[in-house]
Chain A
Amino acid sequence: MTTATSKRLPSPWGRLRARARDHRSLTILAGWAIVASVLPVIVMIPPLSTFQPESLWIDGFANAGVFILLAMGLNVVVGLAGLLDLGYAAFFAIGSYAYAFGASPFTNLQIPFWPMLLVGAVVAATLGILLGAPTLRLRGDYLAIVTLGFGEIVPAVFLNASAFTKGTNGIGGIYKPELFGFQFTLENPVPYYVAMVGVLAITMVFLYRLQGSRLGRAWMAIREDELAAASSGINTITTKLLAFALGASTAGLAGVFATSKLTFVGPGQFGFQVSFTVLAMVVLGGMGNIWGVATGAFVIYTIQAVLLKELNQFFAVLHVPILQSIDFVQYQYLLYGVALVAMMLLRPEGLFPSSRRRQELHATSDDVADVPPPTEALGA
């Protein structure tokens, strides 16, 4: 099919696209390299440069990267496998605490950052499987409420098991990353930015490869019709668990990264708001479309963390008398709510819907009625 398309498009652009399809991983890496080098230039151009200095923009991009990771991970669970997860922040919390335990004065351990990235991902994946296991028999919205419950339980455990987690005080003074003797500092956001772009690019390559693999097809098949997938030989249970595990491991990565940058972790950082925000990013970006989801995350993070916070300044620049007198900081969540509703009403399929998966989660699978769900999952 690929060859057929490239034959039909002899234009340079078409050839480029065809080549990009044939060498997807390289294209992604190159794309990230371009984006990463262009972004710092863009923010030097007014009006963006008037909001905040460049170093803060770069710092913000590194933070946005955390949410892009989260959104790409949740996309595996919700977008590809069709499992509605409302408690995704739990795995973010697990990754964060994993790093705090591995590299802070609290435990007297100082495991280096890079292996901890892997440890965080593995720990989160393991717990993803454990938390996913009881939910395997559940469908749709029952799954949603149980995952929402897990999203509340995990931070509550970190809060209440204070002997092991310092409870509500949180763990501070966490060590910062180091690379070949080069120490990351809080003053200079550039190393974090570069590292984040690297992690993002590699994660995205991995996710695209997974999506195009046997496993990715199995996820999509389960999303489309679980019973038909099982009847085609797919082990729905392990496949779903793998989706939970891979989604959770991405959140674990994000947690380790965010914590190493913030140097502090507390149980209050992982409320339902985080899960909902990430879900909104996935839906807004266009479920199932990896780069669309990444863009959605970037857009929402920028709205939330930059535009809404700088509204006063923005309207001050505009010199509109009435607007200048309003304190927009007070109303930012009202505006955020309005923005969420407006964006969904305008683009219910998301900004960049993946063309063939536009119908996903449309179907309510009425036709399952005559066949009860497989009853053999756990304990039955």
Chain B
Amino acid sequence: MTAAIIDPPPGGDLILQARKVTKAFGGLIAVREVDLDIPRGAIISLIGPNGAGKTTFFNVIAGILDPTSGVVELGGRRMVARPVRAWLEPVTWVLPAVIIGALGVLAYQASPTAGGLIVLLALIGLIAMLLAAIVRPAWYRVLLERFGVFKSARPNEMVRAGIGRTFQNIRLFANMTALENVQVGMHLKMKSNAADALLSTPRARAEETASVASALHYLELVGLKGRGDQAARNLPYGDQRRLEVARALASEPALVLLDEPTAGMNPRETREMTELIGRLRRDLGLSFLLIEHDMKVVMGISDRVTVLDHGECIAEGTPDEVRRNPRVIEAYLGRPPE
């Protein structure tokens, strides 16, 4: 099948923008100054020989690895970059406590009770700041920004910002049912907390019922209707890939990162997966970033293709442009992509 190649929408409505992303492991540079733009509603493919740094680049975008340099922006907001002034963060934890504690020690000279209370207050403050540092609520991040501290978003924060992903080697929750796997994907969209669960509030129960219905819907969407009760590890390989996609969709992302979605699939399954991606873009308006080895898939579905080799971007353009690029041909050992 052939998907219509669309031009990037005017006005630069970019959903994701990666600028000069570099990632080094010790002396080895896995990704070197890679730029990537993903317009809203586009399907972008990332190709390259094995070891080209595709998955590393993916993990940077997904918030799993901090880049050595470069920036990843989502909807114009800086999400991932090398940490800035990270050493200042512990200072923000300790400083208030030290100041209050010092006051307490001074006050202790005048009145032991008051001094003791102030020192206690300092301790509570310290604990509160430490907890805030762990949970990282919004006000804490604002505080950090005021100090000029930057830390990359965590994977779950990237999901919240609208990125869903699958893994190259399938990482389902093997002992949970397919339905539960999808429900986990809905985690962020659900609001009930531990107290709701303990008291089994109407809101929690309603939400739970709704989540089951919604999860069944996603299962149907990817073609797993009626498989909800099966443990994920008992599903056939192709179904596991589909289930991973359903789980990623359940978080209602704007951009889905698919790491070799058709790896290990037979031609029929591959075709179904390709169709599914096209349908999702059409029906839900989702954007996709794919890592893919199957050139048929890449060339058939992508709006634009980026080619990595030895961590460097060697070509970027429409599938046709890339197909004709001599550097790409060379990178693939002279074997021309059909």
Binding site for B on A (CB under 8 A): 1, 25, 129-130, 133, 136, 206, 209-210, 212-218, 220-221, 224-225, 227-238, 241-242, 246, 356-360, 363, 367, 370-372, 374-380
Are A360 and B175 neighbours in the complex by a CB distance under 8 Å? Answer: yes
A231 touches B155 (CB 8 A): yes
Q: Of A217, A224, A363, which one neighbours B187 at CB under 8 angstroms?
A: A217
CA distance A117 to B248 in the complex (A): 42
By a CB distance below 8 angstroms, the chain B residues around A210 are 194, 197-198
The distance in angstroms between the C-alpha atoms of A218 and B152, with both chains bound, is 23
CB pair A374–B64 under 8 Å, yes or no, is yes
* Selected interface stretch from B33-41, B164-172, B264-272: B164-172
Q: Which residue of A lies closest to B165 (CB)?
A: A231
Contacts of B200 in A (CB 8 A): 25, 209
Residue pair A236, B156 in contact (C-beta under 8 Å): yes
Quick one: which of A25, A130, A232, A235 has the most chain B CB within 10 A?
A: A232
Cβ-neighbour of A213 out of B155, B177, B208, B233 (below 8 A)? B208
Total contacts A-B at CB 8 Å: 148
- Interchain CB contact (< 8 A) of A218 among B65, B135, B177, B187: B187
Assuming the contacts A209-B197, A231-B155, A235-B156, asked whether A370 and B55 have C-beta atoms less than 8 A apart, the reply is yes
Interchain CB contact under 8 A, B176 and A356 = yes
Per the bound structure, the CA–CA distance linking A210 and B130 in Å amounts to 26
A242–B184 CA distance with the chains assembled, in angstroms: 17
Decide: B176 and A217 in contact? CB cutoff 8 A: yes
Q: Supply 16 further A-B pairs (C-beta < 8 A) apart from A214-B208, A374-B155.
A: A217-B180, A218-B187, A221-B173, A225-B174, A228-B172, A231-B167, A232-B247, A232-B250, A233-B160, A233-B187, A234-B184, A237-B135, A371-B64, A372-B65, A374-B64, A380-B86
What would 27 A/B residue contacts be, using CB atoms closer than 8 Å? A130-B130, A133-B134, A212-B197, A213-B204, A214-B192, A216-B197, A217-B187, A218-B187, A224-B175, A225-B172, A227-B155, A228-B173, A230-B154, A231-B171, A232-B250, A233-B159, A235-B154, A237-B135, A238-B135, A241-B135, A356-B175, A356-B177, A357-B175, A359-B233, A376-B154, A378-B130, A380-B86
CB-based contact B194/A234 at 8 Å: no
- Counting contact residues on chain B (CB < 8 A from A), the size range is 35 or more
What are the interface flags for B111-144 relative to A under an 8 Å C-beta threshold, 1 for contact and 0 otherwise?
0000000000000000100110111000000000
Contact B152 A376 (CB under 8 A): yes
Q: Is B260 an interface residue (CB 8 A)?
A: no
The 10 closest A-B pairs by CB, nearest first: A213-B197, A233-B159, A233-B188, A224-B173, A228-B171, A230-B155, A221-B184, A233-B251, A232-B185, A214-B190
Tell me, rounded to whole Å, the shortest Cβ–Cβ distance linking B31 to chain A.
Answer: 14
